[in-house]
Structure 1
Amino acid sequence: MKVVDGQRTRPLSATSRYDATPPLRRGALLVTASLAALGGAIIPAAAVPALWRLWQLYAMLFGALAAVEIVAVIAVLGWPTRKTARFAALTAAASLALWVVSRPLGLLTRFDPWQPADTVAGFTDYVAAALQVIALFGLLAVARRRAHPRPSTLRRVSAWIVLFPVLLLVLATGTAGAVAAGDGVTGTNASTLLDGASSTVEYCRPSGIPLAMDVYQPRTSATPAPVVLSLHGGGLVLGNRRPTGPGALLDGPKFTAVRDALTASGVAVASIDYRLAPAAPWPAPLADAQCAVRFLTANATALHLDPARIGAWGIGTGGTLAELLGTAPAFGTGQYGGVPGKVRAVAAVSAPADFTDFTGLDPVTRASILLALGRAPATLRAASPLTYAGPGAPPTLIADGGRKADDYANRLRTAGVAVTTGGSAEVTGFLVTALR
């Protein structure tokens, strides 16, 4: 006990001499930043099993960094101090740096390690990066600000009110990103063996990324069957080949109905995954679809299919890809380069035929086009079936309209192509007749 100016004071403890700052409170900013870091870590962690099947080194790198960040989040929430906040901010910065190195800079050259996370939504890795940015700046702000041992009730309530929408956004995007990234964990793995034992096969491997195809054989097929290539919709940024799960939310039931009707009519169906934008820029989706047609042609005997009777159909931008298969030139040879890649019939449902004219588009549609294709006029023209409408196109069904679909149909008719217009209920009958 010491006497200073007539006042008795207690000596400082060893701890308080060096750290007079009280522990941080679990306020709105700390909780929001911590949950953002948690979501940013869980998204790549959910894709680690799929990444492991491609290359274990990348899987261990992503898995280890995600595990360290999860531990850091637990530490900062359990023991909220400036030290733990700085540690969590450091892990968020490291995860963000890994994303920058692997995606914008493309320095991990073996293949893009984020592709397994982008099989349902092509921007899943961007969601993870955005969460890491929120976590980094939030945790740095928490670590730098002065702690308030007893902040007023008004201060605490105001902070929660201001940050509550951000917290909800963080929770929603983190959960959706983790579900999308983990979709590849379940289901049958694609096989490279075409022995009839597996209905899921790997049809192409662009840039080291294996792409899967589900082959549904007709119920009765004594002879090689015609086959329809099914292309899912989703604006080129969402969806996958599966009839159920998060990738089938847009057109899964419609695909199932057409698939069952075709197989009952003696026509096989091949449903594929293709690389999604913005993770894989145009023309990756079309190059993958063309590679799928060449795969079906080259492996028709092993798959018990007729290579001379291949059709294509899709909903939305899946229909746009189907139209491009019938009219557009080959975008890169890739695998099976010497094999023909044309289709005999096309059915497009609600498929936009032109992306060059934004007149009258609502902001959401405009934003989705820019996200998928960018702003370059050459790319927008290259992705528009209207650009290639002319002689040589196969018989085409244009169902339920679509942007500039009437213009596309008129140009095909002027070029002497057989065009049918109608509704989605006519898809099965049209394809069965066209592939006889």
Structure 2
Amino acid sequence: MKVVDGQYGTRRPSTTARAAAPPPPRRGPLLVTAAFAALGGSLVPAAAVPALWRIWQFYAMLFGLFAAVELVAVVVVLGWPTRRTARAGALTAAASLALWVAARPLGLLTRFDPWQPADTVAGFTDYVAAALQVVAVFGFLVVARRRARPRPSALRRVSAWIVLFPVLLLVLATGTAATVAAGDGITAPAASPLLDGGTVEYCRPDGIPLEMDITRPRPAAGPAPVALFLHGGGFVTGNRRPAGPGALLAGARLVPLRDALTARGFAVASIDYRLAPAARWPAPLTDARCAVRFLEANAATLHLDPARVTVLGTGTGGTLASLLGVAREAGSTIRAVAALNAPAAFDLAGEDPLTRASILLALGRAPATLRSASPLAYPAAGAPPFLIGQGGRESADFAAHLREAGVPVTTGDGDPAAVADFLAAAAG
């Protein structure tokens, strides 16, 4: 045996060596912020796993595995903060970020885009998850590389918390909102005891199932006319549900319009469509056209009248409805269009910064794309009767454009009863 510090036994670091070793990192604001960013970034795909499971179990298990590993890493780094656990946290966050890069920017997961189920309320939910992972990687790496002070002063600790506390609040808020948005598709809307309805899949573009809620008056008296409702949200947010975060972001106009229409014998079909930036234009218009074809092709099964299909929408949903009227597919039998508070044209010049940013996010800046999304840019001859309510960007010019082409145009304030009366009169 060797003699170490006057004793027999194994070699141990001396007191001087132990004092010279760098102290382990503390649970300071940077570590906590990085941990909560990693937590939010892992909960977003975890919340989308149930919806993903219904499409393809392999992707659901892959997302669940990455989320579970990162959750364990967060618990470990918060419970035992060392440089090694911080590096492990950075590694798991980087792996989750690599999964997003492989699926979304690179498109290497070719069967379908597995992030789409997380983007049914906001089309940028997966981008929020990726941004949180970037914050987590950066924070953990800084913690792992920075030399901690053995005894930082109280002033230094308080100053660090003051500086990073707004960042921590932002991380918590965005992580919570993105998780709620990603998990909104788990629960189904509550059924009404006064109405007869159900949910069907109406289209599956690029392997992504899109759902439609159909509400019928009760009791049903033969095939009913149908109104296809298209929600607003700037092509970026919103969904078909009558309540919840998607309805809040879409403007929550569905329920009064649905009730007014069902009182007049209409069935109401409300759809989800793909959102930007997860899906680029013309994906929303393609999905809306697919919904019209579905209603016409399955009218007998759904107890609908295929000759009395109408369309209404609010906000940019009204823009989609207008496009269905003026840019109709061959053989379309749309009887009337109601567009409420709907932009009729998209032009970046002269817009306020918020509107300009939303247009860029949804449509980009290419003039051809902006024109293709603008009902005002299409010939109006042969279009069905229109109701234009509550204005909207260049809607007055659009109404004049329709009238010049001989299309009957009604204007109003968007009152649900007036809208329902217009559609009922047009459907016959």
State the 1:321 CA deviation.
Answer: 0.5
After superposition, the Cα gap between the structure-2 partners of 1:251 and 1:372, relative to the gap in structure 1 and judged at 3 Å, is closer
- TM-fit CA distance, 1:392: 1.1
C-alpha separation in 1, matches of 2:47 and 2:56: 15
Indicate whether 1:391 and 2:392 are aligned.
no
**2:26 and 2:170 mapped to 1: Cα distance?**
22
SS of equivalent residue, structure 2 residue 172 = helix
Distance 1:15 1:341 in 2: 85
**Partners of 1:152 and 1:367 in 2: how far apart?**
44
Number of residue-to-residue matches in the alignment = 415
Q: Is structure 2 residue 212 aligned with structure 1 residue 213?
A: yes
RMSD: 2.2
Q: Partners in 2 of 1:232 and 1:100 — Cα distance?
A: 30
Q: What are the within-5 Å matches in structure 2 for residues 13-412 of structure 1?
A: 20-187=21-188, 199-251=198-250, 253-330=252-329, 340-355=331-346, 357-412=347-402
Q: Say if 2:412 is the partner of 1:428.
A: no
Aligned to 1:335: none
Question: What is the rounded CA distance, in whole Å, between the counterparts of 1:200 and 1:341 in structure 2?
Answer: 23
Q: Report the Cα distance in structure 1 between the residues aligned to 2:114 and 2:16, rounded to whole angstroms.
A: 46
Q: Identity percentage over the alignment? A: 71
| Closer/same/farther in 2, CA of residues 162 and 176 from structure 1, 3 Å limit | same
Displacement of 1:252 after TM fit?
A: 5.9
Pick closer, same or farther for the CA change 1:421–1:15 going to 2, 3 Å: farther
Paired residue secondary structure (2:36): helix
Q: Residue 238 of structure 1: SS of its match in structure 2?
A: coil
Residue aligned with 1:202, SS = strand
Aligned-partner SS, 1:47: helix
Q: Equivalents in 2 of 1:303, 1:318: separation in Å? A: 23
TM-score normalized by structure 1? 0.91
Is the Cα contact below 8 Å between 1:219 and 1:264 reproduced in 2? no
d(CA) in 2 for partners of 1:345, 1:82: 65
- SS in structure 2 opposite 1:120? coil
User: Aligned AA for 1:427?
Assistant: V
Amino acid at match of 1:233: G
Stretches (4+) displaced over 3 A: 13-19, 250-253, 339-342
| TM-score normalised per structure 2 | 0.93
Deviation at 1:360, TM superposition (A): 3.3
Q: Which amino acid aligns with 2:307?
A: A
Change (3 A) 1:271 1:362: same
Gaps of 5+ in 1: 4-9, 190-196, 331-338
Q: Judge conservation of contact 1:220–1:266 (CA < 8 Å) in 2.
A: no
Displacement of 1:135 after TM fit?
0.5
Query: Offset at 1:342?
Result: 4.4
Q: Which amino acid aligns with 1:288?
A: D
Secondary structure at 1:85's aligned position in 2? helix
**Which has the higher mean CA deviation after the structures are superposed, 178-187 or 215-224?**
215-224
TM-superposed deviation, 1:254: 2.3
- Whether the 8 Å CA contact 2:308–2:333 is kept in 1: the answer is no
Determine if contact 2:197/2:215 at 8 Å carries over to the other structure: no
Structure 2 contact 197–216 (Cα < 8 Å) conserved: no
Q: What is the CA–CA distance in structure 2 between the aligned matches of 1:408 and 1:177, rounded to whole Å?
A: 36
Gaps of 5+ in 2: 191-195
- What is the alpha-carbon distance in structure 1 between the residues aligned to residue 171 and residue 334 of structure 2? 44
